[in-house]
Amino acid sequence: MADKKRSTPKLDELEKGPWPSFVKEMKQAAEKSATAADALGILERSYNDKIGHWKHGGIVGVKGYGGGVIGRYNDIPQDFPDVAEFHTVRVNQPAGWFYTSDALRKLCDIWERHGSGLTNMHGSTGDIVFLGTKTPELEPIFSELTEAGFDLGGSGSDMRTPSCCCGMARCEWACYDTMGLTYDLTMHYQDELHRPAFPYKFKIKAAGCPNDCVASVARADLSIIGTWRDNIQMNKDAVAACATGGKVDIGKDVVAKCPSKCMDWDGKNLSIDNGNCVRCMHCINVMPKALAPGKDRGATILVGSKAPIIEGALLSAVMVPFLKLEAPYSDLKELIGAMWELWGEHGKNRERIGEFIQRVGLGNFLEQIGLEPVPEMVTQPRTNPYIFYDVKK
Amino acid sequence: MNDINEQQVAEAMYAMVKEYHGKKNLKAMDLTKAMIEKFGEACTKDLCKAAIRQLMDSERCTYSYVGGSYIVLPPEKK
Ligand code: SF4
Ligand code: SF4
């Protein structure tokens, strides 16, 4: 039992109301852990001082690895000695975030033995995040994790732990095996994951369909988003059932909301001009029994999104409109290799690949990585004068 | 073309990290580019990767994070 109980009137406010509260969880952890108690205390202090008291970085990690541990310290250690060091440990999550209860217990036991007991399941990279430990605990944590079959994830200027939606394991819309691909990329790029060698971080996220449940288009330098090349599959009986079921107004809820206005409904027949469908998934999401992605499935490869850290936020842009993603994923790996080679050599320190493309220009970037320009790469292909492509294709 | 091995590249990298210690933080790519310039084409990026791994596994060098990731001397060797 931790012997210190800190007064936290401001944080206590966050426990009120019917919703779950992180404060309640932290207080529970503080019953057993002095580190968790001080973490609560310094947070209350930050609310009072209106300033964050954390700083991060430095030389901290496990032998041989340059990623997986984020050194964290506070600037008032005299007041909060149990969080003078409060390092974060990132643990590579299983693809799709599937665990057995036994694996979860093992993870939590390791963390209660060597850290604050506080976890973040999962961080924005997708990793299991262990919050708050001291430098001497890092090697023991690492060896116990590896014994339990886990490894550290990425941090710093490396390939961050690739993550994906649950894909074919649970979702009928998955246009490729997101979990298979993520596992394959994680194993193939172990060196890039553990030994930072890039100008800055590089995130890979794999979504099985354009619903993009992992927000890859906004949060990954390489966004792999499932799509299809042929027509949307339609079950006419299910369309009729939808029309008479009373829950969906096909004209109002589906056709009128199609962003490319490529659907038509005459009260009996639903038709889709598939050539103009932009694969937004809206109609499929509203009528899941009647409509489904086509059968010729693969993924669109997009590059360049990032959150606003050094420069402003970017969304990923199309690099390859369609790729049949099948193991061993040689085409994708070739593309990744070409991009890393160019960005690695010419990227500035702390320049994400999306910013690099903006700086050198998309045309130059494509030429250097050996990719042919196609209209899908630019938002307004008919008006952009900088990208040249063969209009006949 | 000169023959060059992992050990030689690792030694040259280590010397460079030592020389720049306290003056400039070096990234993996800074070391790689310097080695390719020093040893020529025989020194490939894969060889540089292996040399960096050797320096890390032997604990002669370590990674630090100051905004980005750098290769530095471990604290006790400074
Ligand atoms: S992104 Fe698509 S395939 Fe993946 S879980 Fe979401 S809806 Fe399903
Ligand atoms: S997927 Fe989107 S664009 Fe395509 S037909 Fe359905 S609503 Fe229209």
Tell whether A156 is within 8 A of chain B (Cβ): yes
C-alpha A115 to ligand 1 mean position (Å):
34
Q: Which residues have CB under 8 Å from A353's CB, separation 6+?
A: A202, A221, A303, A304, A339, A343, A347
Nearest to B29 among A63, A344, A350 (CB): A344
**Contacting residues of B for A59, CB less than 8 Å apart:** 62-65, 72, 74-75
| Residue stretches of chain A with pLDDT short of 70 | 1-4, 379-393
Looking up tokens 């800055």, which residue turns up? A200
Helix axes B6-20, B45-57, angle to 10 degrees: 70
Q: Are A203 and A219 a contacting pair, CB within 8 Å?
A: yes
Question: How many domains is chain A partitioned into structurally?
Answer: 3
Q: Are A166 and A140 a contacting pair, CB within 8 Å?
A: no
Query: What H or E segment, with its residue span, contains residue A49?
Result: helix A34-49
Sign of the torsion angle spanned by Cα atoms A61, A65, A69, A70: positive
Question: Would A262 be classed as within a structural domain?
Answer: yes
User: Whose CA is closest to atom 6 on ligand 2?
Assistant: A283
| CATH code assigned at A274 | 3.30.70.20
- Is the backbone of residue A342 left (phi > 0), alpha (psi -120 to 50) or beta? alpha
Compute the distance between CA of residue A214 and CA of residue B78 in angstroms, rounded to an integer: 43
| CATH code assigned at A201 | 3.30.413.10
Of the residues A246, A271, A292, which one is the last residue of a structural domain? A292
Question: Residue A280: exposed, middle, or buried by beta-carbon count in 10 A (0-12, 13-18, 19+)?
Answer: middle
| CATH code assigned at B62 | 1.10.10.10
- A66 contacts B68? CB cut-off 8 A: no
Residues A88 and A217 in one domain: no
Over residues A307-321, the pLDDT tens digits come to: 887 778 899 999 999
Question: Would B46 be classed as within a structural domain?
Answer: yes
- Is the backbone of residue A156 left (phi > 0), alpha (psi -120 to 50) or beta? left
- Phi, psi for residue A120 in degrees, rounded to 5: -130, 105
Residues A57 and A90 in one domain: yes
DSSP A288: T
Question: Would A393 be classed as within a structural domain?
Answer: no
Residues A137 and A264 in one domain: no
The reported pLDDT for the residue numbered A375 is 83
DSSP, collapsed to helix, strand or coil, labels residue B51 as helix
Q: Are B53 and B31 a contacting pair, CB within 8 Å?
A: no
If we measure between CA atoms, which residue out of A60, A85, A84 comes closest to residue B65?
A60
Residues A243 and A312 in one domain: no
Question: Would A384 be classed as within a structural domain?
Answer: no
Residues A363 and A344 in one domain: yes
Interface mutation target, options B54, B63, B66, chain A, most CBs of A under 10 Å: B63
The reported pLDDT for the residue numbered A17 is 87
Residues A101 and A52 in one domain: yes
Checking if the pLDDT of B77 tops 80, the result is: no
Question: Would A154 be classed as within a structural domain?
Answer: no
Question: Residue A249: exposed, middle, or buried by beta-carbon count in 10 A (0-12, 13-18, 19+)?
Answer: middle
Tell whether A196 is within 8 A of chain B (Cβ): yes
- What residue numbers bound the domain in which B33 lies? 6-72
Nearest atom in ligand 2 to the alpha carbon of residue A291 is 6
- What residue numbers bound the domain in which A249 lies? 233-292
Compute the distance between CA of residue A142 and CA of residue A105 in angstroms, rounded to an integer: 16
Compute the distance between CA of residue A157 and CA of residue A221 in angstroms, rounded to an integer: 13
Note the ipTM here. 0.91
**Contacting residues of B for A202, CB less than 8 Å apart:** none
Q: Are A157 and A201 a contacting pair, CB within 8 Å?
A: yes
Question: Would A152 be classed as within a structural domain?
Answer: no
- B52 contacts A196? CB cut-off 8 A: no
Question: Would B1 be classed as within a structural domain?
Answer: no
Of the residues A292, A310, A335, which one is the last residue of a structural domain? A292
Mean pLDDT, chain B, integer: 92
Question: How many domains is chain B partitioned into structurally?
Answer: 1
Question: Would A387 be classed as within a structural domain?
Answer: no
Residues A14 and A138 in one domain: yes
Residue type, B27: K
Q: Are A74 and A55 a contacting pair, CB within 8 Å?
A: yes
DSSP A27: H
C-alpha A224 to ligand 1 mean position (Å):
12
Question: Would B19 be classed as within a structural domain?
Answer: yes
Residues A224 and A240 in one domain: no
Over residues B8-54, the pLDDT tens digits come to: 999 999 999 999 999 999 999 999 999 999 999 899 999 999 999 99
The reported pLDDT for the residue numbered B67 is 86
Question: Would B78 be classed as within a structural domain?
Answer: no
Sign of the torsion angle spanned by Cα atoms B3, B4, B6, B11: positive
Question: Would A237 be classed as within a structural domain?
Answer: yes
Question: Would B34 be classed as within a structural domain?
Answer: yes
Residues A256 and A310 in one domain: no
Tell whether A155 is within 8 A of chain B (Cβ): yes
Q: Are A157 and B68 a contacting pair, CB within 8 Å?
A: yes
Over residues B9-19, the pLDDT tens digits come to: 999 999 999 99
- A70 contacts B63? CB cut-off 8 A: no
Largest CA distance in chain B: 38
Strand partners, A320: A301
Question: Would B52 be classed as within a structural domain?
Answer: yes
> Rg of chain A's alpha carbons, rounded to an integer?
24
Question: Would A385 be classed as within a structural domain?
Answer: no
